[in-house]
Amino acid sequence: MFFKWLNKKKTRYPEFWIAYLDHFKTIDKKSINETRFVAFDTETTGFDTHKDRVLSIGAVAFTGKAIAVNHSLELYLNQDVFNPETVEIHELLKSNNLNKIEELEAIKIFLDYIKNATLIAHHAGFDRNMINAMLSRHGLGKLKNKFIDTGILYNRSKHIIYRDNLQTHYTLDDLCKELNVPKVDRHTASGDALITAVVFLKILSRLDKRKNLKWGYLLR
Amino acid sequence: MKNSIAERVGDFLQRYPPFNMIKSNDLLEIASEITIIYLEKGESIFKNTEPAHEYFYMVRDGAISLNYDNANVIEIMNIHDMGDVFGLQALIVKEPYKLTATANEESILYAIPISLFKSITDNNTKIQKYLITVFASNTHVPYTVEQTGEIFSDYISNTAQDIINFQTASYTKNPITCQVNSTLKDAALKMCAHKIGCIIVIDTNKKPLGIITNSDIKNKIATGLFSIETEVANIMSTPVITGKKGLTVADGQLQMIKNDIGHLCITRDGTINSKLIGVLTHHDVLATIGNSPAVILKDIKRANRTKKLRAARLKANNLLKSHLEQNIPLSHIVTIISQINDAVTVRVVELAIKKMPSPPPVTFSWLALGSQGRKEQLLYTDQDNALVFEDVPEKQYIETQAYFLELSRIITKTLNKIGFEYCEADMMASNLEWCKSLSEWQNQFKDWILKPDKKAVLLSSIFFDYDIKYGNQKLVDNLTDFIFNTLSETSLFYKFLGSDAIKSPSPVGFFKQFLVEQDGEQKELFNIKSRAIMPLVDAARLLVLSKQIRYVNNTAERFEKLAQLEPENKALYKSCAYAFKALSKFKTKQGLFNNNSGKFINLQTLTKEEKLKLRRCFKPINEIQEVLKIRFDLKNFI
């Protein structure tokens, strides 16, 4: 019964999506130190998941505490939707002479890059929704990866007695300031991805001091 | 594919050697192969004896300390911060590491793959030279420590360094001596024959009994007090002051200043009860140090005019400069400069009394307040002083006070001419309010202690650190007893002092932020006095008062004393004492450099190393303020 259901899917979905799903076949029980994490960020034309489009995806992958620069990902997408209002934030023009690729191609590369890694993003909900919207436009399912939101995780790293006074909303800039992370290349997808990765490692080391670090605590 | 991260990594590398000597194409290739590593505080990237990695490292953020651990003694060799490369052992000799690299604070590193780096830079002799120099300066050679410490050598305790900077005094061996029963004439002939100015009188066991100098002969023989045939025992100065064989120049000098002498006998065990082995003369000390506080003190004692006092005090500033350059421990410098300042004050008071039409009607004491009272005054600072005179019958009070006010006016004016600025808040003995009889002073302190308010707290920070500089010690003892008795009646006053001591928050946040800022827009001056030094001073005063500790005025000494009394907080108090010394030294250096009090520091003029070291001093401030909050229950007290 179970196999039949899988076979059915195989006939409907393209190769790369099947390959992506295959990564989730075995249940991952690695410790945090052995887990592959991918911190990523998207630059978009706006905040509406239906109307707006992803212009750029940046990601860095790491296991343990070392981030290899040559294993980072940086994609620029060709999109028909264009919103002049957000250009001043991400500085991505419609006709930059960047090497742009089509959305489907970007999905292929992105999925192959993340595999079954645990994903990290700042305000992860938004980035997840943007990617999921992109996937559904091409008739694909939703992301299957575990997600960690650095904004929420930061709150949890604070001692319980201070939690009452916490802001509900931390921008990435706030966290950079709080955690003393240098702001280099802010507002480019890969720059923000790297910052998010460093922010995550720093929060993790603070949580780690209280030892009882469990997966349930990290995931949103 | 475009890789912005690699570009930014390249941008960073390019700002620092050796990468600034690499072409930008090659640099990008290196940058894209770099691994970014995050280290928690205390985590090590490599350890002593560990085989060489395939990478060498550059600090992107934070600080990495390289430690040499040998037989359980861990010695900090160097601390690397942003832009420094380390771990070159692997690149140059491919041998196991000889040092352990540990994150001194949370850090981010760039790991640079050696094989790629080598293939790109193999033909570049300039780069190779640079790396070899860096490598050589980090290997463990005790004498390189000297150059790495600089300003904050006091803060990082390092025994090797003290030995280098604190050389053993080279004294005269086989000194000329005479037996205790020889005649003065024989002794004088011996001195002539050897062309020396002093001779040591010894007994049959070669123990030093006394000393005869040129001035003894002048004062006791030439004046006809004794005949030339008298025995040396009659005119020698005795007992002699002695020192041990390994005596440092600084210690020898201190002994001479303390005892007002020019010769120190060196004996086998350092006491007068063992064999004489040498003499350390004032000249020996001068020859080593080159600048002598004893000479300055002599100048001050002999000065009969303000002008001469000013010249002598100016010399002291040069002395200070050279001492700081020689890395002499701050506690020693402070002792010397305080002695000089005290001598100046005494001389000024003496001269002022002479200028008055009549001698003082009753006894009095001249008190130094604030930093001079705490013996922390290194550079010229404001004069804060007060005068307390003996109680007189009510009828004579106004008249007596008038006399002392006039005296104080002359004193403060002279001090001002010498270089000590008038106090802006007019906290000087020439002010009617701070020139009072003993009982009036007692009432004043009683008022402050029992009815504390903002003003009382502000004033107390200056008045509670008083130290007698001239006059009747009994008056001051009396006042001190009274203050401590009154303090034991109340605890409210401590709370006021406490809330004042914690009012300026720790500067850590400010600095952390400063280090993050990359565009360098932070152009404000940093007030090291109010933000870093005063919180420590205030905390020390409060703790010392609450423990009823008397006669320890210096902030560093106060913390040392507290460390003795409260073993459970020893580490914190010790680090406060260290931080205080380091910060004072920093302020003094800045002050000398800019020719002012050094109160404000232009952050932009600091090297990154100085900034890092400055910041390290801020940690104990934070911690001591927490201690105050709990001990004096200040959380709910405003």
Alpha carbon of residue B433 to chain centroid: 33
Residues of A in contact with B35 (CB under 8 A): 66-69
Residues of B in contact with A72 (CB under 8 A): 3, 5-6
Closest residue to A66, CB basis, from B1, B36, B512: B36
DSSP state letter for B155: T
Q: Is residue A61 part of a domain?
A: yes
Domain co-membership, B535 together with B434: no
Q: How far is B515 from chain A (nearest CA, A)?
A: 8
User: Does pLDDT of B86 surpass 90?
Assistant: no
Separation between Cα atoms, residue B63 and residue B55, nearest integer Å: 18
CA atoms in the 13 A half-sphere facing the CB of B460: 27
Which CATH number covers residue B123?
2.60.120.10
Mean pLDDT of chain B: 79
Domain co-membership, B361 together with B306: yes
| Per-residue pLDDT tens over the stretch A96-147 | 566 788 889 999 999 999 988 999 999 888 999 999 999 998 888 899 898 9
Residue B104: predicted pLDDT: 80
Residue A121: predicted pLDDT: 92
In terms of pLDDT, which residue wins out, B130 or A161? Answer: B130
Domain co-membership, B505 together with B583: yes
Q: Do B5 and A98 touch (CB under 8 A)?
A: no
Separation between Cα atoms, residue B58 and residue B86, nearest integer Å: 6
Average pLDDT over residues B204-210: 88
Residue A3: predicted pLDDT: 54
In terms of pLDDT, which residue wins out, B586 or B201? Answer: B201
Residue B14: predicted pLDDT: 85
Domain co-membership, B235 together with B303: no
Q: How far is A107 from chain B (nearest CA, A)?
A: 16
Residue B163: predicted pLDDT: 31
Residue B161's pLDDT band (cuts 50, 70, 90): very low
User: Does pLDDT of B624 surpass 60?
Assistant: yes
Closest residue to A67, CB basis, from B2, B35, B61: B35
| Residues above pLDDT 90, as percent of chain B | 13
Residues of B in contact with A176 (CB under 8 A): 516
| Residue B578 to residues B104, B145, B152, Cα–Cα distance (Å) | 18, 19, 10
Domain co-membership, B353 together with B412: yes
In terms of pLDDT, which residue wins out, B587 or B283? Answer: B587
What is chain A's alpha carbon radius of gyration, rounded to the nearest angstrom? Answer: 18
Domain co-membership, B10 together with B76: yes
Residue A169: predicted pLDDT: 73
Domain co-membership, B303 together with B323: yes
Adjacent-strand bridge partners of A67: A62, B36
Residue A46's pLDDT band (cuts 50, 70, 90): confident
Q: Do B8 and A182 touch (CB under 8 A)?
A: no
Q: How far is B38 from chain A (nearest CA, A)?
A: 5
Could you give phi then psi for residue B359, rounded to 5 degrees? -65, 160
The dihedral formed by the CA atoms of B230, B236, B238 and B243, expressed in degrees to the nearest 10: -140
Q: Is residue A167 part of a domain?
A: yes
Beta carbon pairs, A and B, within 8 Å: 85
Q: Is residue A54 part of a domain?
A: yes
Domain co-membership, B184 together with B308: no
Closest residue to A70, CB basis, from B32, B39, B108: B32
Q: How far is A180 from chain B (nearest CA, A)?
A: 6
Closest residue to B2, CB basis, from A67, A99, A185: A99
Alpha helices in B359-437 (DSSP H): 370-373, 394-418
Q: Is residue A155 part of a domain?
A: yes
Q: Is residue B136 part of a domain?
A: yes
Residue B139: predicted pLDDT: 46
State which residue of chain B sits closest to A109, comparing Cα positions: B1
Q: Do A69 and B37 touch (CB under 8 A)?
A: no
Report the helix count and the strand count for chain B, using DSSP H and E. 28, 21
Range of the domain at B54: 4-140
Residue A14: predicted pLDDT: 87
Residue B323's pLDDT band (cuts 50, 70, 90): confident
Average pLDDT over residues A22-37: 81
Report the relative pairing of strands B242-243 and B385-389 from DSSP bridges: unpaired
Q: How far is A66 from chain B (nearest CA, A)?
A: 4
| Residues above pLDDT 90, as percent of chain A | 17
Closest residue to B5, CB basis, from A65, A177, A194: A194
- Nearest in space to A13 (alpha carbons), one of A142, A130, A146: A142
| Residue B593 to residues B258, B475, B599, Cα–Cα distance (Å) | 30, 40, 12
Residue B350: predicted pLDDT: 92
Burial of A15 (C-beta count, 10 Å sphere; 0-12/13-18/19+): exposed
Separation between Cα atoms, residue B479 and residue A207, nearest integer Å: 55
Query: Residue B43 has which token pair?
Result: 């985590």
Residue B431: predicted pLDDT: 87
User: Does pLDDT of B144 surpass 50?
Assistant: no
Domain boundary among B260, B289, B318: B289
Least confident stretch, A79-88, B12-21, B463-472 = A79-88
Which CATH number covers residue A191?
3.30.420.10
Closest residue to B5, CB basis, from A65, A69, A182: A69
Task: Report the sign of the C-alpha dihedral through residues B495, B498, B504, B510, in that order.
Answer: negative
Separation between Cα atoms, residue B631 and residue B636, nearest integer Å: 13
Q: Is residue B480 part of a domain?
A: no
Q: Do A72 and B33 touch (CB under 8 A)?
A: no
User: Does pLDDT of A174 surpass 80?
Assistant: yes
Report whether A205 contacts A58 (CB < 8 A): no
Report whether B60 contacts B12 (CB < 8 A): yes
Q: Is residue B421 part of a domain?
A: yes
Residue to test with chain A: of B3, B4, B39, B516, most A Cβ within 10 A = B4
Residue B442: predicted pLDDT: 92
Domain boundary among B289, B308, B329: B289
Residue B1: predicted pLDDT: 63
Q: How far is A9 from chain B (nearest CA, A)?
A: 33
| Residue A83 to residues A53, A72, A97, B382, B387, Cα–Cα distance (Å) | 9, 27, 18, 64, 77
DSSP state letter for B152: G
Domain co-membership, B320 together with B412: yes
Q: Do A67 and B36 touch (CB under 8 A)?
A: yes
Residues of B in contact with A202 (CB under 8 A): 38, 106
Closest residue to A188, CB basis, from B4, B32, B36: B4
Residues of A in contact with B44 (CB under 8 A): none
| Residue A136 to residues A50, A111, A132, A143, B113, Cα–Cα distance (Å) | 11, 14, 6, 10, 42
Separation between Cα atoms, residue A157 and residue A91, nearest integer Å: 33
Residues of B in contact with A67 (CB under 8 A): 35-38
Residues of B in contact with A185 (CB under 8 A): 4-5, 8
User: Does pLDDT of A42 surpass 60?
Assistant: yes
Which CATH number covers residue B233?
3.10.580.10
Query: Residue B95 has which token pair?
Result: 């041998």
Q: Is residue A185 part of a domain?
A: yes
Least confident stretch, A46-55, A176-185, B137-146 = B137-146
Query: Residue B593 has which token pair?
Result: 């450099």
The number of distinct structural domains making up chain A is 1
Q: Do B2 and A74 touch (CB under 8 A)?
A: yes
| Per-residue pLDDT tens over the stretch B545-556 | 888 888 788 898
| Per-residue pLDDT tens over the stretch B329-341 | 777 788 888 888 8
Report the relative pairing of strands B177-179 and B198-202 from DSSP bridges: parallel
Residue B505: predicted pLDDT: 65
Query: Residue B2 has which token pair?
Result: 């475009």
Separation between Cα atoms, residue A108 and residue A110, nearest integer Å: 6
Residue B159's pLDDT band (cuts 50, 70, 90): very low
State which residue of chain A sits closest to B43, comparing Cα positions: A205
Q: Which residues contact B318 (CB under 8 A, 6 or more apart)?
A: B291
Q: Do A180 and B2 touch (CB under 8 A)?
A: no
User: Does pLDDT of A158 surpass 80?
Assistant: no
Q: How far is A8 from chain B (nearest CA, A)?
A: 36
Residue B140's pLDDT band (cuts 50, 70, 90): very low
Q: Is residue B454 part of a domain?
A: no
Q: How far is B87 from chain A (nearest CA, A)?
A: 17
Residue B23: predicted pLDDT: 84
Q: How far is A76 from chain B (nearest CA, A)?
A: 9
The number of distinct structural domains making up chain B is 4
- Nearest in space to B170 (alpha carbons), one of B71, B273, B283: B283
Range of the domain at A198: 15-24+32-218
Interface of chain A toward chain B, CB-CB under 8 angstroms: 58, 60, 65-70, 72, 74, 76, 98-99, 176-177, 180-185, 188, 190-191, 194, 198, 201-202, 205, 208
Q: Is residue B336 part of a domain?
A: yes
Residues of A in contact with B513 (CB under 8 A): 177
Residue B151: predicted pLDDT: 32
Domain co-membership, B531 together with B406: no
Average pLDDT over residues A73-78: 88
| Per-residue pLDDT tens over the stretch B39-68 | 888 888 888 888 888 888 998 888 888 877
Closest residue to B35, CB basis, from A66, A99, A181: A66
Residue to test with chain B: of A37, A40, A69, most B Cβ within 10 A = A69
Max avg pLDDT among B310-314, B400-404, B510-514:
B400-404
| Residue B448 to residues A42, B459, B490, Cα–Cα distance (Å) | 64, 9, 11
Residues of B in contact with A69 (CB under 8 A): 3, 5-6, 9, 31-36
Q: Is residue B486 part of a domain?
A: no
Separation between Cα atoms, residue A155 and residue A146, nearest integer Å: 19
Q: Hey, is B280 helix, strand or coil?
A: strand
Q: Is residue B436 part of a domain?
A: yes
| Per-residue pLDDT tens over the stretch B381-426 | 678 899 999 999 999 999 999 999 999 999 998 988 887 878 777 7
Domain co-membership, B45 together with B16: yes
Closest residue to A69, CB basis, from B33, B516, B518: B33
Residues of B in contact with A74 (CB under 8 A): 1-5
pTM for the full model?
A: 0.45
Residues of A in contact with B31 (CB under 8 A): 69
Q: Is residue A3 part of a domain?
A: no
Q: Do B515 and A180 touch (CB under 8 A)?
A: yes
Query: Residue B108 has which token pair?
Result: 């981010």
Q: Do B38 and A201 touch (CB under 8 A)?
A: yes
Average pLDDT over residues B195-220: 86
Least confident stretch, B64-78, B117-131, B366-380, B430-444 = B64-78
Q: Is residue B107 part of a domain?
A: yes
Residue B148: predicted pLDDT: 38
Q: Do B37 and A185 touch (CB under 8 A)?
A: no
Interface of chain B toward chain A, CB-CB under 8 angstroms: 1-6, 8-9, 12, 31-40, 60-61, 106, 108, 111, 512-513, 515-516, 518
Domain co-membership, B16 together with B88: yes
Residues of A in contact with B42 (CB under 8 A): none
In terms of pLDDT, which residue wins out, B595 or B354? Answer: B354
Q: Do A74 and B31 touch (CB under 8 A)?
A: no
User: Does pLDDT of B248 surpass 70?
Assistant: yes
| Residue B4 to residues A21, A187, B164, Cα–Cα distance (Å) | 30, 12, 49
Residue B523: predicted pLDDT: 46
What is chain B's alpha carbon radius of gyration, rounded to the nearest angstrom? Answer: 30
